[in-house]
Structure 1
Amino acid sequence: MSSIGTLWTVPAQGKGKRIVAAAAFAGLSVDPPASYEHYVDNKKPEFLEKFPHGKIPAFESKDGFKLFEGSAIAEYVSSLAPNSTLLGSNKEERALISQWISFADSEIDANVTFIVQLLRGTLTPYNKPMHTTFNERTIRSLKTLEKHLSTRTFLVTERITLADISVAQSIQRAVSVNVDAALRAELPNVIRHLETVINHPLLKEVFGPIEYVEKALQFVPPPKEKKEVKPAPAPAPKAEKKPKKEEAEEEDDDLVPKEEPKAKNPLDSLPKSTLNLEDWKRAYSNKDTRGPGGSLEWFYENNDKEGYSVWRVDFKYNNELTQTFMSSNQIGGFFNRLEASRKYLFGSVGVLGATNDSIITGALILRGQDVKAVVDVAPDWESYEYKKLDLDNAEDKAFFEGALAWDLEIDGKKWVDGKNFK
């Protein structure tokens, strides 16, 4: 890729990531400075001479053009490769792209930043009402985004634009701070969009893995300083019971509510299995599904029929399905709501058929022999039917392999889209 200039930024953070992603998608690259220490180098005279406000990200092109403000740099970088589709093809698309970039900055990124600063105490002493307000603003914005994405794959056009990269960068940060498992279950299209964008081959390395938070981060008060215990005066008559005061102070400390220990999941008490589910997920992700040395061969060699079971899952209300992409989104929503069982479950579920004539079906590999114990973390688990598969049965085995290979066909309905739960 051709380098277009130097970018001063904090590695893999914030709008710097957005700029690097835009460059990579456009087939370009930006170089980091020879060395950079944040809050030090951007206050030095030589930096301020180029960028008087001292802000980063900051960019200098090969011919000396200088620019700061992350969104402006990302737009400029995108404009250097007009065939990349990043800025749209007409003035209306470009305006909509700018709209969603601004929305990501002001309605998502800004509120998440305020929450992080509150939790760290760098904005102001922690204030619960402020935290609640910023969180509510974030949720409102995400609901707007969810509604918009419910009828389309990307934000503006049928391809990735700078708007999609900008929103994905903001959402990737949000899901590590305050968009927890419960909230993600309400945002299947937002999560689908995030995962689609950051897993694009040109963007995957820039964005890196998503770090989903199970519960939204909460403020943890700093530990109280222990009072220095002064030596007691020399014993005097009737002073034997003086330590009672110290005991009372210790009792007061016990009045501070202690966090309840988390209840152990009964699945953790099952006998140890020879099949490591995380190893299987890696094998499935990195190998061809069928053929010698494929992931199916790996599974059969390592399967533990006592520790794990294989199930067919079918949506009960296929007659209500319309657009196949919406059915795929529904699978994504179901998988999001299974987040609490991620360590016990693998799934490959797809949409078979065509618009207004499709079904949702697939296969699950789960810990133990009781499907309910694993899937009832999802509120809508009863919208699906579950049948245990016997892999010694040729028909069950063919269904299982077809679901994992995404080439399953049932009654003339072919696999058109799918999701994996890994």
Structure 2
Amino acid sequence: MASIGTLYTTPEQGSGKRIRAVAALNGLKVDLPEHYVHFEDNKKPEFLAKFPHGKIPAFDGADGFKLFESAAIARYIAALAPNSTLLGSNTKEAALVDQWVSFADSEVALHTTLIFQLVKGILTPYAKPIHTALQERQNRSLKTIEAHLATRTFLVTERITLADITLASVIQRAVQVNLDASARPQFPNVIRHFETVVNHPQLKDIFGQTAYIDKALAFTPPPKEKKEAKPAAAPAPKAPKPAKEEEDDEDDGIPRDEPKAKNPLDSLPKSSFNLEDWKRAYSNKETRGADGALEWFYKNFDAEGFSVWRVDFKYPSELTQTFMSSNLIGGFFNRLEASRKYLFGSMGVLGETNNSLISGALIARGQDIKPVVDVAPDFESYDYKRLDLSNAEDKAFFEAALAWDLEIDGKKWVDGKNFK
């Protein structure tokens, strides 16, 4: 069977599964790239030449036709087979299919994504009322679907349509985020419908095994920094005690405070680069130009005592509004408070709504970034790459991040925050 084209996706991407399922039911072959690495290959010039937005799923047709956005790709492939009923058999059924596809994406999927971002600290600050409101909106959507499925097997016709495949891909994500063991009994028809679709013989291998969560993902607040106790007043001098006998040298049973653990960064050799002086220079000088902050930096930087890093948010596909992405940076910086004397940062949001990324630069004490950033519970949501300032490309990235004019893959800097 000849392939109709190549689909750029990842094995776990729900919208990619949706498209592959449509092709399977239509008896069409869609190729997957053998060695696609997301966040790397979709940034390469050859990919961007085909899909300038750099987004997946993306379909590269064998006839040269190119398409992105999962709903559009799925609808196109659903219409390719001449006898397909995936889009309904008449205009009214086709409209109902479109209705339920839109409802599944805009109501159930959207709220699942927002809840995931909220509890994972991607949307900050976390607010319980917002979490509750999002959950209530999703429950309302699921109740609508539950009532509709109470008298029918599938959403539109007596056979699986694109609407059913779309809903199944959305519910598979929900049962792994917030549709937990206590919530699922409220929606028996939704779960029955989901299991019917994903266990269809032609779709079972595409959807794979579903890991149902027992308890919904919950927000874990960052640990509060312990305040140092104020030093106690000096005790009044005591009269000298008589010499103890030898047996009195034993433990008297009174608990002693353990000595406070010392931060390993404090044990590093003293550096000639004063981070506080740098922060003042950066705040008070123009970033570029003669006698600017960057000139001060290069004149004073100690590469043995400090290191420079590129930092990128790992999940740009989860980012929506740019102001929310900016809040995400602010939350990350707030949780780095315990490392303030070891760290400087300049990070920003690049791009536009529903097409943005977070990137920037850090100046950190020592040669290992982890001891500096692991005070923040969400530090693992970012990738860290050491920058070599003797390399022209790394140096240009560093300077642009500090000057707030960084541009990556055509995405321009729209907002930024400093950690100083």
If the length of structure 2 is used for normalisation, what is the TM-score? 0.54
Partner of 2:215: helix, strand, or coil?
coil
Q: Per-residue deviation at 1:33?
A: 2.0
- Give the equivalent residue in structure 2 for 1:100: 100
C-alpha deviations, 1:287-309, integer Å up to 9, x for none? Answer: xxxxxxxxxxxxxxxxxxxxxxx
* Cα gap change, 1:49 to 1:185, in 2 (>3 Å): same
Counterpart amino acid of 1:144?
T
**1:293 counterpart residue number:** none
Q: CA deviation at 1:227?
A: 7.1
3-state SS of the aligned residue for 2:159? coil
SS at match of 1:86: coil
The residue type equivalent to 1:152 in the other structure is: R
The residue aligned with 2:55 is: 55
Residue 237 of structure 1 deviates from its aligned partner by 4.4
Identity %: 66
Q: Matched residues in 2 for 1:66 and 1:131: separation?
A: 38
Shift of 1:112: 0.2
- Cα distance between partner residues in 2 of 1:67 and 1:95: 22
Aligned residue type for 2:37 = E
Q: Name the amino acid aligned to 2:190.
A: V
Does the Cα contact within 8 Å between 2:10 and 2:16 map onto a contact in 1?
A: yes
- 1:37 maps to a residue whose letter is V
Q: Distance in 1 between matches of 2:81 and 2:34?
A: 26
Closer, same or farther in 2 for the Cα pair 1:193/1:228, shift >3 Å? same
Q: Deviations over 1:248-286 (max 9, x none)?
A: x9xxxxxxxxxxxxxxxxxxxxxxxxxxxxxxxxxxxxx
Matches within 5 A, 1:81-92: 81-92=81-92
* Rounded Cα–Cα distance in structure 2 between residues aligned with 1:133 and 1:193: 26
Kept in 2, the 8 Å contact 1:101–1:167? The answer is yes
- Deviation of 1:168 after TM superposition, in Å, equals 0.7
CA shift at 1:41, angstroms?
2.2
Counterpart of 2:99, as a letter, is Q
**Counterparts of residues 17-416 of structure 1 (less than 5 Å):** 17-224=17-224, 237=237
Per the TM alignment, residue 5 of structure 1 is displaced from its structure 2 partner at its CA by: 0.8
Taking the aligned partners of 1:202 and 1:118, their CA distance within structure 2 comes to 35
CA distance in 2 between partners of 1:197 and 1:6 (Å): 24
Residue 244 to residue 60, structure 1, CA distance change in 2 (3 Å): same
Shift in CA distance, 28/234, structure 1 to aligned 2, threshold 3 Å: farther
Q: 1:233 to 1:196 in 2, by over 3 A?
A: same
**Secondary structure in 1 aligned to 2:83?**
helix
Deviations 1:26-64 (A, max 9, x none): 112221224222222222222222112121111100011
In structure 2, C-alpha distance between the alignment counterparts of 1:234 and 1:59, rounded to whole Å? 75
Deviation at 1:69, TM superposition (A): 0.3
Map Cα deviations across residues 146-202 of structure 1 (whole Å, 9 max, x no partner).
000001000000000010000011011111111122221111111110111111000
CA shift for structure 1 position 234: 11
Is the partner of 1:7 in helix, strand or coil?
Answer: strand
Q: Deviation string for 1:367-406 (max 9, x for gaps)? A: xxxxxxxxxxxxxxxxxxxxxxxxxxxxxxxxxxxxxxxx
**Gapped regions of structure 2 (runs ≥ 5):** 239-253, 261-420
Aligned pairs, how many? 244
Equivalent residues of 2:86, 2:160 under 8 A apart: yes
Note the alpha carbon deviations across 1:293-329, whole angstroms, 9 max, x for none: xxxxxxxxxxxxxxxxxxxxxxxxxxxxxxxxxxxxx
Q: Which runs of 5+ in 1 are unaligned?
A: 250-422
SS of residue matched to 1:84: coil
Provide the secondary structure at the position in 1 that maps to 2:186.
coil
| Cα separation, partners in 2 of 1:227 and 1:92, compared to 1, 3 Å | same
Distance in 1 (CA, whole Å) between partners of 2:135 and 2:50 is 37
CA contact (8 A) 1:12 1:206 kept: no
1:99 is matched by which residue type in structure 2?
A: Q
CA contact (8 A) 1:55 1:68 kept: yes
Equivalent position amino acid for 2:207 in 1: F
* Residues 26 and 78 in structure 2, CA contact (< 8 A), matched pair in contact too: yes
Secondary structure in 1 aligned to 2:116? helix
Q: Alignment RMSD, CA only?
A: 2.9
Question: Could you tell me how far apart the structure 2 residues matched to 1:138 and 1:118 are?
Answer: 14
Q: 1:31 to 1:48 in 2, by over 3 A?
A: same
2-structure distance, mates of 1:29, 1:232: 76
